[in-house]
């Protein structure tokens, strides 16, 4: 198997895998909320150690680090939490047209709430955010509580958003700034002391940790959204995320973060080299190959492309050993045909339908890229 879908998910790092096996054997089964007895305290200590690791590595001592069941849930906690807090005074949420569905669809559904209006910020055909549009919206009425939610690095396109400029605009116009950092944290360290992000979301399974764990960092400065809980039924995670915590995933997720901090530079180089090798091979062997937008070093390891007159779905069925995606994995979950991302770029419908995304990481060796590329070329010609 040739695994080229690292934006979808990543395999467990071998050290995380060993760590998890040992932890299962250690049988730390107590409920971390029951810290008044010994079984609960063991679990509680593991969670708090994991939290301290995150606070230290993200320079987030003055922030809240929350564990959630996914980055999707973390994004919902911020967006619906902000809307819950301000809807009675009317509030606005500005989001980009190429957000992950956990942000895009949440914003679209919050638009139905009385008192909440959401505004989509368009992107140019090259995927770049229309910053002038964002500023003109921010300028309109800066007395209305406003949350800007723009992802750090896109999960379908090799695009890094200008988060430094966005946070400057947010500070200027008195807006909060949340960033979905799921793909950003894969590629860049997070320093929460810099006043760059108000809140930030990470997903453990994109950095070779277990699935089912999101990490939400919520600051307390001017960019940090003020929230009300939108889920109820428990006081866990500062009252913002009720429900018993997944001790195993949280401890292993913190381990994955520690390992990722050490390996990130090498991982980025590998992702970058693989993406270039793959793209160059296809370009040299397949006249009908086109990159949707050029490969970008800042958003390493993502190749978004199409092959003229090639139905992407049937191509993928012909080469099941090459794991490539048609866009984000959450598309597959709903059985949808097209991603909203190529649509936002203004690509013709026949291209939108046949976009492919290859994304690279530890799950594929550099020497296997040529074999995987060969299979794509061979089956595209059939
Ligand atoms: N945001 C981005 C940019 C992603 O790539 C993903 C996963 O595909 C998510 C959010 C959702 O993460 P999770 O699977 O942890 O819900």
Return the best residue to mutate from 203, 213, 246, 330 for the ligand 1 pocket (most ligand atoms within 8 A of CB): 203
Ligand 1 pocket at CB < 6 A: 7, 70-72, 100, 102, 151, 155, 180, 182-183, 203, 214, 328-329
Strands 64-68 and 214-218, by their bridges, are antiparallel
Atom of ligand 1 nearest to the CA of 8: 8
Return the best residue to mutate from 71, 149, 257 for the ligand 1 pocket (most ligand atoms within 8 A of CB): 71
* Reported pTM: 0.96
pLDDT tens for the chain, residues 1 to 382: 999 999 999 999 999 999 999 999 999 999 999 989 999 999 999 999 999 999 999 999 989 999 999 999 999 999 999 999 998 889 999 999 999 999 999 999 999 999 999 999 999 999 999 999 999 999 998 889 999 999 999 999 999 999 999 999 999 999 999 999 999 999 999 999 888 999 999 999 999 999 999 999 999 999 999 999 999 999 999 999 999 999 999 999 999 999 999 999 999 999 999 999 999 999 999 999 999 999 988 999 999 999 999 999 889 999 989 999 987 666 655 556 678 999 999 999 999 999 999 999 999 999 999 999 999 999 998 7
Residue position matching structure tokens 């800066």: 142
Q: In this structure, what token pair is assigned to residue 176? A: 């909060």
- Ligand 1 mean position to 190 CA, how many Å? 17
Q: Whose CA is nearest to atom 6 of ligand 1?
A: 182
Instruction: Identify the three-state secondary structure at position 57.
Output: helix
Instruction: Identify the three-state secondary structure at position 160.
Output: strand
Q: What kind and span of H or E run contains 93?
A: strand 91-96
CA torsion, ordered 282, 286, 291, 296, to nearest 10 deg: 30
Q: Whose CA is nearest to atom 12 of ligand 1?
A: 71
Return the best residue to mutate from 155, 163, 329 for the ligand 1 pocket (most ligand atoms within 8 A of CB): 155
Residue 32 φ then ψ, to 5°: -60, -15
Atom of ligand 1 nearest to the CA of 72: 16
Residue position matching structure tokens 């003229």: 308
Separation between Cα atoms, residue 312 and residue 107, nearest integer Å: 29
């Amino acid at each position: 198997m040739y695994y080229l879908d690292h934006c979808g998910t990543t395999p467990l790092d071998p050290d995380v895998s060993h760590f998890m096996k040992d932890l299962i054997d250690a049988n730390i089964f107590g409920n971390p909320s029951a810290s008044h007895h010994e079984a609960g305290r063991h679990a509680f200590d593991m969670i708090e150690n994991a939290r301290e690791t995150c606070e230290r590595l993200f320079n987030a001592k003055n922030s809240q680090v929350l564990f959630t069941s996914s980055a999707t849930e973390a994004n919902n906690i911020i967006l619906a939490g902000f809307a819950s807090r301000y809807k009675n005074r009317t509030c606005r949420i500005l989001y980009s047209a190429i957000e992950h569905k956990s942000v895009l669809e949440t914003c679209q559904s919050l638009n139905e709430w009385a008192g909440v209006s959401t505004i989509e910020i368009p992107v140019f055909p090259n995927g770049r955010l229309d910053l002038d549009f964002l500023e003109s919206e921010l300028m309109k009425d800066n007395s209305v509580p406003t949350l800007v939610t723009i992802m750090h690095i896109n999960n379908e396109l090799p695009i890094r958003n200008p988060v430094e400029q966005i946070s400057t605009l947010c500070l200027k116009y008195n807006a909060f700034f949340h960033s979905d950092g799921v793909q950003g944290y894969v590629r860049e360290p997070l320093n929460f002391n810099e006043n760059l992000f108000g809140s930030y979301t990470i997903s453990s399974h994109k950095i070779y940790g277990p699935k089912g764990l999101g990490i939400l960092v919520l600051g307390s400065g001017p960019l940090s959204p003020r929230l009300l809980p939108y889920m109820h039924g428990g006081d866990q995670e500062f009252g913002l995320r009720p429900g018993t915590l997944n001790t195993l995933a949280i401890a292993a997720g913190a381990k994955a973060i520690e390992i990722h901090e050490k390996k990130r530079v090498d991982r980025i180089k590998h992702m970058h080299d693989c993406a270039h090798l793959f793209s160059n091979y296809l370009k040299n062997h397949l006249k009908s190959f086109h990159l949707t937008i050029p490969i970008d070093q800042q958003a390493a390891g993502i190749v978004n492309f199409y092959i003229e007159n090639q139905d992407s779905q049937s191509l993928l069925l012909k080469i099941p050993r090459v794991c490539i995606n048609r866009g984000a994995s959450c598309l597959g979950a709903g059985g949808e045909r097209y991603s909203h991302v190529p649509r936002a770029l203004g690509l013709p419908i026949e291209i939108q339908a046949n976009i492919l995304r290859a994304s690279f990481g530890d799950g594929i060796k550099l020497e296997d890229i040529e074999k995987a590329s060969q299979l794509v070329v061979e089956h595209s010609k059939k």
